[in-house]
A and B are shown apart, each in its own frame.
Chain A
Amino acid sequence: MHAEEKFTYETWPAAPEKATLEAKNKFLGFWFFLGGETVLFASLFATYLALKDKVGDSGQPLAKELFELPLTFVATMLLLTSSLTSVYAMYHMKNFAFKKMMVWLGLTALLGAGFLGLEVYEFSHYVHEGHKFTSSAFGSAFYTLVGFHGGHVAFGLLWCLTLMFRNGKRGLNLYNAPKFYVFSLYWHFIDVVWVFIFTVVYLMGMVG
């Protein structure tokens, strides 16, 4: 199938994200990249778990004193919902409904931006409380783990917006369908990482 072919709802293939060799390669390559990212985040989690509450003589606040349930809960809801909105976007892509796909991608980006805004507020609050990147091993480990995740969200946001703007006038074709699909895989993955972050960092932190 040629990447620039014009399609209709009837002729659009069942799995547009895997319809060309290039698409199949991107699909597989990206899943493998996620396998590597799994190990990357596992190493960051491992470091965090080893350094949790290790503040040395600094007298810095510990996990239990810092984290708060409501904020974490709202952030989780935002990111989890954004994962669902990206699923809807892919559903519309499969059904060749370009405009609807764009709407749901836009919602995904909006929710992701909300999550990021909340995280920036949260970090500034902790810094105010004395919990900084440089204040202790615990501080360094916390900001590195949660910050890398936030960095991934930020990159994903830029990715989503770039895709939307670049392809806004083109409609769906076999060249851009795999790109949207790969983005949605990435977005789900950062939600997967967040599930472990809110569990291991925030919830476990508050349990003690």
Chain B
Amino acid sequence: MADQQLNSGNPRVDIEYRRRKSTEEMRYQVVSFTLMIFLTLIAFAAVAVKGFTAWFTVPFIILLAVVQVIFQLYYFMHMSHKGHEAPSLFLYSGALVGAVTILAFTTIIWW
């Protein structure tokens, strides 16, 4: 990972290592981006194309959204890197509280 302490003893090697690591990471980012566009296209297509029931489409597009958000978080926002334990914990906790809220509002408000 690009954030690690580099200590090969030779600064030029360190720089080269860092440069390659960050280029490699940039490639992951572009791949992630492409996948995100792809997921978005599929979601829109699922709605545009007639022939699917709402019972299929809705869970499907929500799943696609969740996958896309995972890519954003882990790649664009570097949550996969070391040093993100506390951020992960708090983001997932927030998501849990949010999910419970949404569950409540979609069930026990109108029934």
A residues near B (Cβ < 8 Å) are 9-10, 14-15, 18, 28, 31-32, 34-39, 41-43, 45-47, 49-50, 69, 72-73, 76-77, 80, 83-84, 86-88, 91, 94-95, 185, 188-189, 191-192, 195-196, 198-200, 203-204, 206-208
User: Nearest residue in B to A86 (C-beta to C-beta)?
Assistant: B76
Partner of B72 from the list A45, A83, A91 (CB cut-off 8 Å) is: A83
User: Nearest residue in B to A206 (C-beta to C-beta)?
Assistant: B47
- State whether B72 touches A35 (Cβ < 8 A): no
Within 8 A of A (CB), among B1-23: 2-6, 11, 15, 18-19, 22
Nearest CB of B to A183, in Å: 12
* With A28-B86, A39-B97 already in contact, 5 other A-B pairs whose C-beta atoms are closer than 8 Å: A42-B94, A42-B95, A73-B40, A188-B77, A199-B61
- State whether A45 touches B65 (Cβ < 8 A): no
A136 to B26, CA, bound (A): 46
- State whether A185 touches B48 (Cβ < 8 A): no
Residues of B within 8 A of A (CB-CB), count: 55
- State whether B22 touches A95 (Cβ < 8 A): yes
Residue numbers in B under 8 Å from A86 (CB-CB): 76
Partner of A69 from the list B47, B54, B91 (CB cut-off 8 Å) is: B47
Residue numbers in B under 8 Å from A14 (CB-CB): 2-6, 18
User: Nearest residue in B to A9 (C-beta to C-beta)?
Assistant: B15
- Interface residues of A, dominant DSSP: helix
- State whether B91 touches A195 (Cβ < 8 A): no
User: Nearest residue in B to A193 (C-beta to C-beta)?
Assistant: B69
A191 to B65, CA, bound (A): 11
Could you list 5 examples of A-B contacts with CB < 8 Å? Answer: A10-B11, A31-B84, A38-B95, A42-B98, A83-B33
A192 to B54, CA, bound (A): 24
- State whether B40 touches A76 (Cβ < 8 A): yes
Residue numbers in B under 8 Å from A80 (CB-CB): 33, 36-37, 40
- State whether A192 touches B73 (Cβ < 8 A): yes
A198 to B62, CA, bound (A): 10
- State whether A185 touches B97 (Cβ < 8 A): no
Residue numbers in A under 8 Å from B57 (CB-CB): 203, 207
Partner of A38 from the list B11, B48, B98 (CB cut-off 8 Å) is: B98
